[in-house]
Amino acid sequence: MHNRDAVFLDELCPKLRVRRWRQSLHIYTGKSCIYCGKPSESIDHILPRARGGLSVTENCVPACLSCNGHKSDADVFDWYRRQRFYDPRRAMAIRAWMDGDLRLALRLLQWAHPQDASLPKPDGGMELSFQPA
């Protein structure tokens, strides 16, 4: 398939685009939860949708179902500080992610998990689309 066809398909199928966007988020953290490092099974809205949080990359992070469920409507940093798996490097990564600096976020995650080979390299030229729709 040509690249142009793919773009065309995306425009025809917003659902497909959202799915690709969500997958790209998971790939970015090596399919691990940004909070605890377990396999990411969902996308967590840092600011919950119920409180006006948008479905944009800066507000959406890969999370395991446990973290996603526990956090619910709490402020992300208030909640995160109280967790046993709290890691200040991950907290900084979440902050960088919210600022839209995914490269910095990725570096901080690698720092927190230096042995995790599944994380993409920060300078691998990876592109992320910032808007799901």
- What's the burial of 124, exposed, middle or buried (CB within 10 Å: 0-12/13-18/19+)? exposed
Tell the smallest beta-carbon distance from residue 108 to Zn ion (Å). Answer: 16
Work out whether 94 is an interface residue with Zn ion (CB under 5 A): no
Q: 69 vs 100, which CB is nearer to Zn ion?
A: 69
Residue 61 interacts with Zn ion (CB under 5 A): yes or no: no
**CB 95 to Zn ion: min, Å:** 17
Asked if 67 interacts with Zn ion (CB under 5 A), we say yes
86's CB contacts (< 8 A; 6+ apart) are 80
> In angstroms, rounded to a whole number, what is the distance separating the alpha carbons of residues 88 and 69?
21
* 40, 33 Cβ separation under 8 angstroms: yes
Distances (CA, A) of 19 to 15, 24, 91, 132: 6, 9, 26, 8
Q: Of 35 and 97, which CB lies nearer to Zn ion in the complex structure?
A: 35
91 is a site residue for Zn ion (CB under 5 A): no
Interacting positions 4-43 with Zn ion (CB under 5 A): 33, 35-36, 38
Which residues make up the interface to Zn ion (CB under 5 A)?
33, 35-36, 38, 64, 67
